[in-house]
Structure 1
């Protein structure tokens, strides 16, 4: 199945490097294959990195094969990069049509300063990016660009996200929460994965939040090797 989708017009905002628009894309309406949030095998951008690690080169920090929820219309996305070499990255966000389940590209980041760093990377969507719509479902994808001329060899992964409206009761409880720790507990109680993860990755000074971060990272890790690398990762924060 091809990974490309036709570029949609609604909510469209594309941040690209001039001359590279569509370089790695096909004119297709097919969704990317479901990767379970992991790049294929342990393949990276060099033979040596693939030989030396059983951990995938790229892991999206989202529960595998489930559409996790958020109450934020500008959520934070997070992923793990294994290899130390800094590589160009590409980020894409697709929106599912609520009737047909077809998908269209609504945002894309291809700028020359968007590069990988080893460890956990977080991407926060600012006012310059499209605001997600409550009640809509999306698919997000990260790609490491090993070779722009051979995109089929680039490690990539995708995951799904659904934006939901908070209930009045949850709004009230969040407003009355004394601190971020209380809010994380509420997010976890309501299965709001992206909100909980964003909170624990944003603030690392509180020991109790560190415990929450460890718990959430273990939830997406597959095996001890992944868990160890996630837990020891430096966090790199990006905003677009």
Structure 2
């Protein structure tokens, strides 16, 4: 019998095409500086109704198998959280309005040089897969499929998986975490293309997780010395059970 990690591996790695391009995160240029109102503002995520979620949303992997074998004896890893997808811990599921959503993952210190981001439809067909280079530094990174891959269809659920490639080629024992996403139609939000705290809060109140968290992450990433924004970001992650990585550094692509 296969373990859940090996089963995910067989699905997402066995069908990888040769020469997949590296993903490029969405631009964070021209993000406005938060106003003074952020000093007292808090943004808490409001989960959407559970209707329409996949039957099972459990994630593959556990702390013991979420690091590369060659890193297992590293003292740098001993006090670090394992590989963790940024998604509400009670559901392991989230909504997005994006055709090609950006996912966030906490990456522990690692000797690995790349990860693989895969999207899998509910019928277990691989929807897209992208090799993405990493630097191996601990922190929260952004992952996104290249725009040439098929866009997510509105109303459908997809499992996304991140495989940490421990050697030159993927192997069946490589660490893997999985989560779920469903694309929904864009709600009627004022200035939805503007990246600011008001927009992040609007997404949060409508239960659109991936859009809310990436909006906040981009603001936090461009305002590293703004303590008010840091507090908003930390409390936002804690509100969905991500306490273990709430204060970890952001290492988003510029």
TM normalised by structure 2 equals 0.66
- The counterpart of 2:116, out of the listed 81, 90, 95, is 90
| Alpha-carbon offset, residue 108 of structure 1 | 0.8
Structure-1 separation of matches of 2:192 and 2:152:
26
For 2:72, the equivalent position in structure 1 comes to 47
Unpaired segments ≥5 residues, structure 1? 18-32, 97-101
Contact (CA 8 Å) 2:88, 2:241: kept in 1 or not? no
Size of the aligned set, in residue pairs, is 206
Structure-1 separation of matches of 2:75 and 2:65:
5
| Equivalent residue runs for 1:78-117 within 5 Å | 78-96=104-122, 102-110=123-131, 113=133, 116-117=136-137
The structure with higher relative contact order (CA 8 Å, sep 6+) is: 2
For 1:71, the equivalent position in structure 2 comes to 97
TM normalised by structure 1 equals 0.70
Contact (CA 8 Å) 1:74, 1:131: kept in 2 or not? yes
For 1:182, the equivalent position in structure 2 comes to 198
| Alpha-carbon offset, residue 153 of structure 1 | 2.4
Cα–Cα, structure 1 residues 37 and 75, in superposed 2: closer, same or farther, change >3 Å? farther
For 1:22, the equivalent position in structure 2 comes to none
Q: Secondary structure at the match of 2:103?
A: strand
Cα–Cα, structure 1 residues 53 and 183, in superposed 2: closer, same or farther, change >3 Å? same
Contact (CA 8 Å) 1:217, 1:231: kept in 2 or not? no
Across the aligned residues of Structure 1 and Structure 2, the Cα RMSD in angstroms comes to 3.5
Structure-1 separation of matches of 2:193 and 2:227:
18
Structure-1 separation of matches of 2:235 and 2:106:
16
Cα–Cα, structure 1 residues 237 and 178, in superposed 2: closer, same or farther, change >3 Å? closer
Unpaired segments ≥5 residues, structure 2? 22-55
